[in-house]
A and B are shown apart, each in its own frame.
Chain A
């Protein structure tokens, strides 16, 4: 069964720290993987998308990596800020216009 897992479920770190969020998937034959941010009571905002042929993508302080062979993606956040506090979700698409599977998310809290 295709599953996507995010551990830990919650993470609290002091402001300024660099941190890594993890996303694991059981079936490595992915089409792409997308990272989202969700603020409480809000919709999802796309952060980064990594195609299956790519190893990483960067946007500002965010860097997402992909290792299909090990079934893992990581989201690296540099110099964390209180405004980064949110839930971060990863989603795996296994082929174009097919089922999409989300992880259950990591709730991140950045302490001032």
Chain B
């Protein structure tokens, strides 16, 4: 089954304790992306990756890091989490078919609480 998986699904942590949220897709998509979703603000793109070893900042990259060492995985790293990073995080991959048909596929989300 084609899917995007994220782990963990729920995480409660404390300020300053480094954490990693994993994202994996089995569709061989080149493009992957991380979003955060906050009430009233919708989904905002954190980072995206066009291919292995190619990443770029989205609208809200501060406090986050990413890596893309292999096509299927795109982990999100919070080196020193702070309470304002409490949010619902989504990973997505895009089938870049060309001709305007790029389609996003989303993971189930990770709810992060930073105390």
Q: A-side interface residues toward B, CB under 8 Å?
A: 31-32, 34, 36, 41-46, 49, 51-54, 89, 91, 93, 96-105
**One of B17-25, B38-46, B66-74, B75-83 contacting the partner:** B38-46
Known A54-B100, A99-B45, A99-B59; 19 more pairs at CB < 8 Å: A31-B100, A32-B100, A32-B101, A36-B106, A42-B108, A43-B108, A43-B109, A45-B106, A51-B99, A51-B100, A53-B100, A93-B102, A96-B98, A97-B94, A99-B56, A99-B58, A100-B48, A102-B44, A104-B40
Contact of A97 among B45, B50, B106 (CB under 8 A): B50
Which of under 10, 10 to 19, 20 to 34, or 35 or more describes the interface residues of B? 20 to 34
Contact of B45 among A42, A96, A100, A105 (CB under 8 A): A100
Cβ contacts under 8 Å, B90 to chain A: 43-44
Cβ contacts under 8 Å, B100 to chain A: 31-32, 51-54
> B33 an interface residue at 8 Å Cβ cutoff?
yes
Q: How far is the CA of A59 from the CA of B90 in the complex (A)?
A: 25
Name the residue on A nearest B42 (C-beta): A104
Do the beta carbons of A102 and B103 come within 8 Å of each other?
no
Q: How far is the CB of A5 from chain B (nearest CB, A)?
A: 10
26 A-B residue pairs with CB within 8 Å? A31-B100, A32-B102, A34-B103, A43-B90, A43-B106, A43-B107, A45-B106, A46-B103, A46-B104, A49-B101, A49-B103, A52-B100, A53-B100, A54-B100, A91-B43, A93-B102, A96-B98, A97-B94, A97-B96, A97-B102, A99-B56, A99-B59, A100-B104, A102-B44, A102-B45, A105-B42
